[in-house]
A = this chain, B = another copy of it.
Amino acid sequence: MTTPPVTTAPVAPGPLGRWFAEAGERRYTRTRRIPLDALEGWHTDARTGDLVHDRGAFFTVRGLDVSAPEGPVPHWAQPILDQPETGVLGLLVRDFGGRPHVLAQAKPEPGNAGGLQLAPTVQATRSNFTRAHGGRTVPYLRYFRDPPSRGLVADVRQSEQGAWFYRKRNRNMIVRTTEDVEVLPGYRWMTLPRVHALLGAGDVVNMDARSVLACLPPPPGSAGRALHSGREILHWLTGVRSRAGLRTRPVPLRGLPGWHRTEHAVSHDSGRFFDVIAVEVRAGGREVRRWTQPMLRPHGTGIVAFLLTRVDGVPHVLVHAAAEPGSVDEAELTATVCCTPENYDVLPPGARPRFLDEVLAAPPDRVLFDALLSEEGGRFHHALNRYLIVAVDGPGPYEDAGTHRWMTAHQLSALLRHSHYVTVQARTLLTCLRSLTGPDGTLER
């Protein structure tokens, strides 16, 4: 495998780079860690030890008890972020010169490793979205509140990190407009190829943008013949979901087995997995200029990879049907490999993910995509995953264990019209895969 790319965000020179640099002068966050007890507006619940916002807003850090009777780790406990509110990730699309452009914003988040990132047009909480005059505080929100039918491209609630969030969903919306749209400072129309090119160029395109871009319908004529019919895929997934998967039960954060709380963090006794920390944030270009909040800080860099093969010339990726503690409905379709390798040093050998070694040992000429990208910087502190697409000769024996199936990008897109099918990591990879393919769906390398 090639050397990991650097984590800072080298946005290309030229007008785009200048716009990004200028935006970064006005919009920024400075984050520093503080003791958990120094959180303001948050408290430790006297009975449970959960970290709770004083008004019950934002999210809660709870404990979760997880049973996986048929898995290699049959039982564990962990902290988890419980954020029941559904926010809106909205992407505005407009044609200029016959080519679709998306309205991106340059947005900083406290947990970002590299500062400013490209975000969707709108990232709004539910209260922003439903408030009568919400349009005043969140720019462009009005385009998403009652879109005309002809402009509605996608509107679907999608899951986020089921290992860290308890049943979290955000509403991914794409709306096409023909109106003249005022471009505010910090916003910019960009072509899809331009956004795609930035995906592989460092940690620039944020998780929310990658997620909502994955909900774009596939290019017409790009279907190709799939190894398995859609009905077979659903049959397989129904079978996986009907087995005894994970059973979860919220439990107090205080006294969570295997975890301990210090002045600065809730940590696993092994030092692996993640910490719950507290930060103070000072921000420019936002209404609120200073706040404190808990964040989840993972240990180690994750590996998120699709194996890819061509079947009769049509690219297929190997999806993994896997349940996570925060899944709403058992297994979703995720990357072939989606893990933090170091964690398996403290887990039974049987827990080591299938195909991880194959990804790590891939010769450079089989690595089609390779970039360090960060997860949502509003909740996760320096959560970097190395996203890879690795070509293999297939279909081969990869499906033998019943946990993985070869699917086309078109098939994943069809399922993305609905909730509960494709994880946020697989959505990122689908967007990365599109960055490699031409308008007809063929791989460009």
Contacts and interface: CB of A to CB of B under 8 A. Distances in A.
Residue among A235, A238, A241 having the largest count of chain B Cβ atoms under 10 Å:
A238
A255 to B, nearest CB: 18
Interface string A230-245: 0110110011011110
A420 B415 CA distance: 14
Interface stretch (A21-29, A149-157, A177-185, A302-310): A149-157
Given A329-B328, A418-B418, A86 B241 contact: yes
Contact of A149 (B130, B155, B232): B232
Interface string A131-163: 000000000000000010100100111000000
A172 to B, nearest CB: 9
Task: Please tell me the size bucket of the interface on A.
Answer: 20 to 34
A417 interface: yes
A238 B84 contact: no
A262 B244 CA distance: 35
Contact of A156 (B126, B171, B238): B238
A8 interface: no
A60 interface: no
A180 to B, nearest CB: 24
A152 B233 CA distance: 11
B329 A419 contact: yes
Interface of A: 84-86, 88, 126, 129-130, 147, 149, 152, 155-157, 171, 229, 231-232, 234-235, 238-239, 241-244, 247, 328-329, 417-420
